[in-house]
Structure 1
Amino acid sequence: MSVRYGDQSAELKHIRADDAGGQGRWSFSSQQATLRRLDKAFRAFFDRVKAGRTPGFPRFKGRGRFDSVEWPKDGDGCRWDSQPEHPTATYVRLQGIGHVRVHQHRPVRGRVKTISVKREGSRW
């Protein structure tokens, strides 16, 4: 029997309902994106096993080693916006965290679709 993304995503609904102050306060879409990354890692592992190559089992990465979080859709747990009191600075509002200043390497053209946040040092 294999555990796939769909099974884990369905179980996530129950976990969030039972732990509203913990897991339930974070963005469901962000948690689903993390489950997709996990599913992708294990699919690649089993594909390598089937091909007869050295598989390289996916390793557990503790909280301190996971350096990015993804919100797959603007408006679903995150919002790309600027603060009225800081008209020249750009911020992103993240569910459960608050407003975080964005360091832009280039101007954004078009509409923001996906937001990824990478941790710098020990801070988010």
Structure 2
Amino acid sequence: MEPDPDRVAAAQAYISALAHHRADDVPFAPDCTRVEVGLKTGFSGEHLRRSLNRGPQYRIIEETTTPEFTVVGEALRAKFDVITKPSLAGRRVCAHVDETFLFTTDGKIQHIRADIRPFIKR
């Protein structure tokens, strides 16, 4: 099944905001939550928006790679890499990201589950 273009656009807005730190146009549901590696890291749409716009945990992200989107049941799955700014001896700690998005009936992001595997980039 092909991913719904509106859902892909919503998820892409979120992924782009990880690196560009401009989340005002990300279509979060008001009660959107995010769970990263089993820990709740997003408590509402506004909390996620503020974190993406100004949170220090996102400021170290320089870019994301082009995501690969697939449909998993009612969810949209995105796999991409996060590339960080800081480097030590020409190496950066980056991450392979596998995020699953659930949506409201009107196409807003309701929930994000993130699995992250760090790697070293030279």
The alignment's TM-score, normalised by the length of structure 1, stands at 0.23
Higher relative contact order (CA 8 A, sep 6+): 2
| Higher radius of gyration, 1 or 2 | 1
The alignment's TM-score, normalised by the length of structure 2, stands at 0.23
Q: Which protein is richer in helix relative to its size?
A: 1
